Amino acid sequence: MLQTQVSELAKLLDARYERLQHDIRDQFERNEMHVNTELDERPGDMADQAASDQVTDLNLAFVERRTMEMHDIEAAKARLNDGTFGTCMNCGKQINFARLQARPTAVRCLGCQRDHDKLYAKEETPSL
Quote the pLDDT of residue 110.
Answer: 96
Q: At what angle do helices 3-40 and 46-82 cross, to 10 degrees?
A: 160
Amino acid at 23: D
Low-confidence ranges of the chain (pLDDT < 50): 39
Angle at CA 98, nearest 5°, toward 18 and 84? Answer: 70
Quote the pLDDT of residue 78.
Answer: 97
Quote the pLDDT of residue 123.
Answer: 63
Quote the pLDDT of residue 35.
Answer: 54
> Hey, how many other C-beta atoms are within 10 angstroms of the C-beta on 69?
16
